[in-house]
Structure 1
Amino acid sequence: MSVRIALVNDHRWIAPIDPDDYARRILTEDALVGEALRHRGAVVERVVWSDSEVDWAAFDIALIRQTWDYFERYPEFLAWLARVDGLTRIVNPAPLLRWNADKRYLIELAEAGVPIVPTRRILRGDADRTLAEWMDCDAMACCVIKPSVSGGGRETWRIERAQAEAHEARWQGLVAAEDMLIQPFLPEITSAGEVSLMLINGEVTHAVRKTARAGEFRVQDDHGGSVAAEPLDPALSALARRVVAAVPFWPLYARVDLVETERGALLMELELIEPEFFYRFCPEAAERLAEALLF
């Protein structure tokens, strides 16, 4: 009997009407994964994670793809994970998805010896210090603030120390609503961008470099960033493998986002839930994913 696999998306990416370049890239990537799985005898269907009509028990595997609204519907997504986890095999595993959804994992990885961008986590409701005071604690001339649970650059702001007081109302509103992270702004982000390395079963398959558009520091497509294939660098590949080895649950797939600095490469983020995997730059990686998933 054929293995039935759900490619799990959010509602925007199943059948977009008049898709733009961004949506077409998503459809292309899912097609590469789907064809690699079908080539190995699997039955593949693209489904919406939040669709109450989906019979998850009818699938042998639920492969997370573009669930890019999960952080906007976080309690609902966690409840979905808890419900579906007993009905089918979720990949990556549900405990790993829960661990990776909150960026406090960066602090845990740092404690395990992984070099990260220095990160301070401020708990929701902590109004003991102003943003300027937090910046002064770590001697930051410029910082980046972001929610601990987020994606796509949501509520991510670059703030100069001289402008901290002007952003205090925004900061207080954000930290009243959710846990927040404060990190130093690294100028290498705007000068050289991020290097993303893709791994399947702990082995690096390919890499891309993501760069921000002029006047922006966020590298995501949503904010005008661009992506190009990047040759594999042995030192960065070794660091990516080290990052994945420090994770408490083994991931089938992982994307490791690094920034190269004068102090060496630092982990920006580790994407284990629904990373854009840039299969279009390396279709062979989709074949390797299918092989690892099914055999």
Structure 2
Amino acid sequence: MTARIAIVTTLELAVPDDDETLLLPHLPEAALVAWDDPSVDWSAFDVAILRSTWNYHDRLEDFLAWARAASSATRLLNPVDTVAWNTDKRYLADLAAAGFPVVPTTFVAPGEAVPDDAVVAPGAHLVVKPSVGAGSNGARLFDGEPDEALAHVAALHAQGKVAMLQPYLAEVDEVGETALVYLGGCFSHAARKAAILSRDMSWDTGLYADEKVVPTSATEAERALADRLVAALPGMGHADLAYVRVDLLPTADGPVVLELELTEPSLFLALGEGAPARAAEAFRALL
């Protein structure tokens, strides 16, 4: 069968991602192709679905330029305007403005000083990371070391990056982070991710930090928040989505949004019974 669906990866990923290995046998209409392969004729595909493009954050301008060009040749999903919004975590401010509970975040652009009311008090556990990043690249946890945290902000600024500062929500060490996966607009399954920043990180692929992820059942509160967020996305200008992953952290007052993954999230297909077939069905429906 001639491939009609491009499952988009990168040349830098030496072997297919686990999701792709599980998905492709269920989707003979698809082929695995790299966004950074200049020989690809994107007009040969009816739809191109972004998947393991995990080096985008190092070449964001190139990646978005490619995405716009690909969108003129085929149907790119998720759509390029959504991708442009979602690849910079300043979208969290938009979610907060829309009334969704998010991890408190201060964004500091190059040339700006860290505000006095930012969470950098001595003794505070603070996460500092770039607003454009993937796989925990550039993210660091500081335990009561405001000077070191501010030095990391300065280092990110020296690279031309916007820094984001967040309090470390310690409940994640006990409960973990919950990722809720939606395929074709419908909830599929959930996964529980152990804390990464509070332990030594490893980088087997070189593109993202290794994660300990297990299947889980989302709580009623987690489903309610994630369902509400997914339902609101079309009204926020983000419709026609092939997939959504909502990452939530626990707090004493209920779950809060850590990330809304609309560009290249792992879908943890191995952790949901029947998830590879559901993903194939959802992607096939895009034709």
Q: TM-score, normalised by structure 1?
A: 0.85
1:278–1:174 CA distance, 2 compared to 1 (3 A): same
Which structure 2 residues correspond to residues 133-172 of structure 1 after superposition, within 5 A? 134-135=118-119, 141-161=124-144, 163-172=145-154
Whole-Å separation in 1 of the counterparts to 2:268 and 2:41: 29
Counterpart secondary structure, 2:119 = helix
Counterpart secondary structure, 1:134 = coil
For 1:234, the equivalent position in structure 2 comes to 220
Q: Which has the higher helix share?
A: 1
> Is the contact between residue 54 and residue 264 of structure 2 (CA under 8 Å) also seen in structure 1?
yes
For 1:175, the equivalent position in structure 2 comes to 157
> Is the contact between residue 190 and residue 212 of structure 1 (CA under 8 Å) also seen in structure 2?
yes
Which structure 2 residues correspond to residues 197-236 of structure 1 after superposition, within 5 A? 197-212=180-195, 215-216=198-199, 222-236=208-222
Q: TM-score, normalised by structure 2?
A: 0.87
Shift of the alpha carbon at 1:74? Answer: 0.7
For 1:20, the equivalent position in structure 2 comes to none
Which structure 2 residues correspond to residues 19-34 of structure 1 after superposition, within 5 A? 26=17, 28-34=18-24
Shift of the alpha carbon at 1:220? Answer: 9.0
For 2:278, the equivalent position in structure 1 comes to 288
Whole-Å separation in 2 of the counterparts to 1:227 and 1:290: 22
For 2:82, the equivalent position in structure 1 comes to 96
For 1:243, the equivalent position in structure 2 comes to 229
1:50–1:209 CA distance, 2 compared to 1 (3 A): same
Paired amino acid for 1:146: K
Counterpart secondary structure, 1:66 = coil
1:241–1:144 CA distance, 2 compared to 1 (3 A): same
Paired amino acid for 1:110: A
Shift of the alpha carbon at 1:224? Answer: 4.7
Whole-Å separation in 2 of the counterparts to 1:184 and 1:94: 31
Counterpart secondary structure, 1:12 = coil
1:252–1:220 CA distance, 2 compared to 1 (3 A): farther
1:167–1:109 CA distance, 2 compared to 1 (3 A): closer
> Is the contact between residue 108 and residue 114 of structure 2 (CA under 8 Å) also seen in structure 1?
no
Whole-Å separation in 2 of the counterparts to 1:139 and 1:169: 14
Shift of the alpha carbon at 1:171? Answer: 2.0
In the alignment of these two chains, the number of paired residues is 277
Mark the runs of 5 or more structure 2 residues left unpaired by the alignment. Answer: none
Q: Could you report, residue by residue, the CA deviation over 1:243-274 in whole angstroms, capped at 9, with x for unpaired residues?
A: 22232212220111111110100111011111
Mark the runs of 5 or more structure 1 residues left unpaired by the alignment. Answer: 17-22
Whole-Å separation in 2 of the counterparts to 1:234 and 1:286: 24
Whether 1:52 aligns to 2:38 is yes
For 1:107, the equivalent position in structure 2 comes to 93
Counterpart secondary structure, 1:207 = strand
Whole-Å separation in 1 of the counterparts to 2:284 and 2:20: 17
> Is the contact between residue 78 and residue 242 of structure 2 (CA under 8 Å) also seen in structure 1?
yes
Whole-Å separation in 2 of the counterparts to 1:150 and 1:70: 8
RMSD (CA atoms): 2.5
Shift of the alpha carbon at 1:238? Answer: 1.7
Paired amino acid for 1:29: D
Shift of the alpha carbon at 1:110? Answer: 0.8
Whole-Å separation in 1 of the counterparts to 2:231 and 2:197: 35
For 1:186, the equivalent position in structure 2 comes to 169
Shift of the alpha carbon at 1:174? Answer: 1.2
For 2:12, the equivalent position in structure 1 comes to 12
Shift of the alpha carbon at 1:201? Answer: 2.7
Whether 1:77 aligns to 2:63 is yes
Whether 1:255 aligns to 2:245 is yes
> Is the contact between residue 199 and residue 205 of structure 1 (CA under 8 Å) also seen in structure 2?
yes
Shift of the alpha carbon at 1:294? Answer: 2.8
Counterpart secondary structure, 1:73 = helix
